[in-house]
Structures are given as structure tokens and as C-alpha cells.
A and B are shown apart, each in its own frame.
Chain A
Amino acid sequence: MTLPLGDRQPAKGRFDAIVVGGGPAGLSAACTLADGGSRVCVIERGDWPGSKNMMGGLIFAQPTSKVVPEFWKRGPVERPVTRRELWITTGDAAFKGAYESTDFGVEPYNAFTVFRSRFDKWLAGEARAKGAVILTETLVEDLLWDGERVAGVRTGRSEGDLEADVVIIAEGANSFLTEKAGLCQGAESGSLALAVKEVLALPKEKIEDRFSLEDGAGAAYEIIGEITDGIPGTGFIYTNKDTVSIGVGVILKDMVNRAGAAYNLLERFKAQPQVRRLIAGASPREYTAHLIPEGGYRGMPRLYGDGVLVAGDAASMVNAVFTEGANLALLSGRIAAQTVLRASEFGTFGCETLSYYGGLLEDSLIMKDLKQYKNVMPLLSSHLHFFGLYPEIASAAVKEFLTVDSLSKADKHKLIMKLVRSQRPSRKMIKDLYEAWRAIS
């Protein structure tokens, strides 16, 4: 695993920092480093930054504007999200909780739907304009070592070794460099989620009609319940300018255990009556699938070593409960860069200097949120009935309550309680409730 610095002649001294991966974590680090006067090189394996990215989802305005102020004026955003909904579905029915605010539709905004393939490309342009060197179609194959210290990277190109004071690993999910750096043991399938997504073309007017949106405003729906067939996961629908992103994310291990196929889940989701109506007549543009590291706090590697830092998905910085990843990546990339800038002042890039990164992260919302929800995903995996049985019970209860027939309300009440208890004993429900409360508090 270790490549000693031998008779090779790496390009030394050209860069202060190397960033592996041109996603939000890497590009945010590059922008911050370049702003701080550091010579930084971003190495991206795709044809362009974002070309490997399937995400058509949300980015949040506040963390993003810290890296690129007022990005919505210049960058490729689709729609500001003014309406968010959470649905719980069973069979043919859905409960819907919605929040809508016109405030979210004006500056400083809250969130935007974006195609990350376009957004990341644009962000890379911003980083380049600030002075970062962006290399594409270049795979980082290994780390270079100087004793115990990470001293650079080896790429797949000829004369492909590059040295720097520090390497920021921001290569996304399934980061093998984190493993090579000795910072983790490799991801377990239990901590990985699989997301499958389609982009469907739908005219602007139809989107705004069906999702009940103001001109140009957007919606983000999250849907749980029977659509994932009892596997922990969520469905999502996001509105873009003239397309709709629709997909399902499920815990990989649980899906494999059920011998399921992800595309079946997506078809199942699209057939849900309330969903079908939203996307009727829309024509498919693209189909993609991607792994998301949802191990959260428990899945995190060590975040720094001698001459090396890890940020974003590579560091498992994903809040699966709130489907936040890109903003944590942007923030952590920025914090990693701040750490490197500070280390440059001291002139040392050892573990001790870089431990500043850990401290800043602890104080940030990244670690606070990830710690708070660290038990939620394991709980959901061990309590599969949260995604199957409970939505069903709740739906049956509400249906009974709303159905006006010859029963009195008091009789209905009794009937509902009986129905609920027949599905799951009270003792177990109380235990579930307690565990759920423990997991999030």
C-alpha cells in the first residue's frame, strides 16, 4: 500500500494542497484555499466536475453562499424550494404534511433544486477563476508517502506523481483513499444506501399546476411508507425547471436481504396513485443509480492524519434522516481548507496541527447533527415495522375515523383502538416509541 519516495521525480513544490475529487466538498475546499492564497490542485476522474454525479436534488442556500456568495444569481439552479411535503403512504392512501413559505422564494432563500452535474461544473469554474488548478479525466490511484506522512498522490497518467504539503480526500462515497490512508477499514453494506432516480420531462406550466407552485418556485417531497416495501428508505420528488426528479433511496443491505431490485421499487413508487398523478404523461430523460454513505456518525473514518484530511461523503458526512449531504460536504470542505490555511501559517501539516479540523467540525452543525441522529438509521434497520406496519396501522385508523357510516364516534374510537392493538401489542408500541424518542433526543 505504501509507495516510498524513491528515484521518482515528482513535480514538487507546485502545489500547497491537492484535493482529490471535484464535488461539493473538494470544490468548496479549493475555493476557500484559493481565496486564502494557497496553490491548490483539484484532481477529478470524470470528464468534468459533476459528470459522475447523479444528484438532482436540493442544495441549501446558506452553506453554499458561504463558499460562493449569491450563487443563485450566477450559478445553474433550477427552482428555489418554497414548498416541502412529507407523505406517509400505504396502499392507495397517503397522509400529507406540507409546509409552504413564500419567504423561501426570495433572497436569501433556503434551498434550491439543482442538477449537480451542472452545478458542480459551474462551481469548478468559480474555483478556477479564483486560481485553483482543476485537472479532469485523471484518476488518483494511490497516495505517496514520506515515512508516516501522506506526501502527495499517484495518478493514472504518465509522470503522474504529484506532491503537496497536504492531501484533502473528497472523492465521495466508497472512498478507497481513506482506506489507503489508514483512516478506516472500508465501508460495510449496512452503512450504504442505494438511490435510484429518474428525470422526467414535464412542461413548466404542468409542473407549476400539479405541484401548486408560483411561477418559477419549486417543491421537494419526501415520501415514506409502503412504497419501499418495508425496507428502510424514502421516496423523493423534486421539481426542476421543466423536469421532475423522482427516485427512491433504500438501505442497500436490507434491500439485498429482501432479494429486491431497486428499479422495482422505483416502479412501485411511480405507481402509487398520488405519485402517478403528479408525473402522468412525463417522458423519461435519464435513469441513474448511486451509492450514498448513510452510516452517519457511526460510519465515519478518522478525519485526519499526517498530511491528510477527509471531507464530505468520503467522511460519511451524510445526515440520512434529513437527506442532507451536499451542504455538509460544502461545509466540511471549507473547514478542511481553513485548517490547511492555518497549518500553512505554522508550516507543519502533521496530525497535531490538522487536529484543528476535528475541533472545528465538533463545533459545527456537522458533528452536532450527525451525533444527534447517529442511532436513527440502526434503529430503522432493526425495526423494519416502522416502514411497513406503522404506516398501515395509522392509515387504517384514519380511514376508519374519516369514514362516515352508522357507527357513533365513541364506537369508532373503540374500533380503532382494537384495530391498532390487534396489529401490535401496546407494550411493544410503547417500547418502540421510547426507542424512537431515545434515538433522536
Chain B
Amino acid sequence: MAINSVVCVKQVPDTTQVRIDPETGSLIRHGLPSVVNPFDLHAVEAALRLRDIYGGRVTALSMGPPQAEESLRKVLGFGVNRAVLLSDRAFAGADTLATTYALAAAIRKIAAEEPVDLVICGKQSIDGDTGQVGPGLAHRLGMSQVTYICGLEEIDLEARTIKAWRQLETGRELLEAKLPAALTITETCNRIRYASLPDLIAAAEQPVEIWGVDDIEVEREHLGLKGSPTRVNKIFAPPVRERGEIFAAADSSAAEVAATVFDRLALRGVTLGGNGRSTSIADSKPVGDT
């Protein structure tokens, strides 16, 4: 008995470099490098670690334009067994509803060839940030779901259950779920491996399978823009915060600088409270300062 996983991987613009055109309000994507969604790399790592322990196969699945093949090449380099890219104009413009529809159909096709015990996703993508694809797949595939996993405990192959730690705002909880299950993984779940040279070479020589709309069982009206009820009203950058004033202490003592700051605050009507009485900050001005 072994555990077969499908890991969903998304190619995203490197949002650490994304900027918004202040005039049009649209994302400046020009020349922006693409990366694998960082949380998805942790999902890949989680799948590989389970394979190291329980055996089985790991299939990476992505949906995107042809250049998304790069992302799959990258995860092949980590030692993933198989890589499938859903790429077709019919998939373009999909929101999470249409995305999970297509991905679920692809996972069903994979499951027809070999049983799929786990579907593993990153907790969210860094470009869309919805965190809906993992739970959406769980629903569409009728799997149990565990989200925001910060640690994998164990799989009971006999009972066909998985125990995993789920990150909460106030702490973490240990959950048990029946297999097959859909998991979403946080960045604290594991550290990503540096693939060995033989794995990397094997990956470079391995093809990425490209599936179009005719390769999976779907109805076209549920795909892409047509199948996406989500409408984006507006994208905007939060207003730029005014830069704070900097008081240099080069030519004066720290006390003098502090006094200047207190003066400035007092001008704005900011006062220090204490012992039931309200004290003006200016009161704490050092003696002798003019």
C-alpha cells in the first residue's frame, strides 16, 4: 500500500516585484518574472516527504498558459514523478469556480489510472490570495479537507486516515481526516529540499504532459471566463503613507532632539496622559532649553 498524491501548482507573477500603475489602477505585469507560487512549493515538499515514508507517486498538476510549463519543470526537479499542464484557450480567464472545475476533471482522469489518496495545495496563491481552490477541489471531488496545515503527523494506512496539525490564529489543532483528503499547506509545514543532481537531470529530460480541453471530461460552459461568475470591479493600490519626519541628532544631543519632537507633537495637540491628569508633552522639556 502506498500513498499517491496530486499536487496543484500555480505559476504566478513574482508579486514581490509587482507594482500598480497609479493612473490606470491596473497591475504592471510588463517584464515581471514568473515564479512557482511559494506555498505550492511547500505542498510539493509535503507530498514528497509522504512519498519518502509511505511510497507511492506524486503528480504535479497545473493550469495556465504554455509558459506555465516552466513551473512544472521546476517541481519535476524536486523529484515529482509526473507533471501535467492543463493548457487551452478554453481554460483562460477562470475564477476559482471554473479553475476547480477543470482541475477536478483532470484529477478524476489521473485517478482513473491510479488511485489518488491526497490532493495537496498551497494554502493560497500570492496573486489571487483567495485560498479557495483547495477547499473547492475537496468539495468537487467529495474528499475530506484539512486546510492551513502547519505539520503532518502520520497516515494510518490500515484505517486510511491522516493526522495533521492545522494552524489557527490562537494556536494549532490536531485533526484526523479520512482518505482521500484534500490538504492545503502553509509555509511553516516544512523546509523545501534542494533536489539532488540525478533528480534534476532526470527532470530536465522528462516531458511535461500538456492536456487540452478535449483530454478531460468537461462541459465547456463551466470553463474559463464563461464559467466564472466572479467579476473584478477595481484593483487599486492602498494610498501611499506620508513619510515620517526625521530629526537628525548629528549636531545636537539626544535630549535636544527629543525636546524638538515633543514640541512638534505638542503643536499638534498630542499630550501625554498619566496619574489622572493630562500633561502636555511640552511640559517634559529639559530645563535650560530655550
Contacts and interface: CB of A to CB of B under 8 A. Distances in A.
B195 interface: yes
Contacts of B247: none
Contacts of A133: 201, 204-205
A138 interface: yes
Interface string B199-229: 0110011000000000000000000000000
Contacts of B194: 157-158
A14 B197 contact: no
Contacts of B31: 115, 118, 285
Nearest to A15: B201
B200 A157 contact: yes
Contacts of A162: 197, 201
A41 B201 contact: yes
Interface string B55-72: 000000000000000100
B170 interface: no
Contact of A14 (B195, B200, B201): B201
A48 B67 CA distance: 13
Contacts of A138: 197, 200
B28 to A, nearest CB: 10
B197 A158 contact: yes
A161 B204 CA distance: 16
A11 interface: yes
Interface in B33-80: 33, 70
Contacts of A115: 31
Contacts of B195: 157
Interface string A106-144: 000000000100100000000010000111001000000
Interface string A10-35: 01001000000000000000000000
B196 interface: yes
B198 interface: yes
Instruction: Point out which of B70, B197, B204 has the most chain A C-beta atoms below 10 A from its C-beta.
Output: B197
Contact of B197 (A11, A48, A128, A285): A11
A135 B205 CA distance: 10
A160 interface: yes
Nearest to B67: A125
A33 to B, nearest CB: 15
A11 B198 contact: yes
9 contacts: A14-B201, A41-B201, A48-B70, A135-B197, A135-B200, A158-B196, A158-B197, A159-B198, A285-B31
Interface of A: 11, 14, 41, 48, 51, 115, 118, 128, 133-135, 138, 155, 157-162, 285
Given A159-B196, A161-B197, 14 more contacts: A11-B198, A48-B70, A118-B31, A133-B205, A135-B197, A135-B200, A135-B204, A138-B197, A138-B200, A157-B194, A157-B196, A157-B197, A158-B194, A160-B197
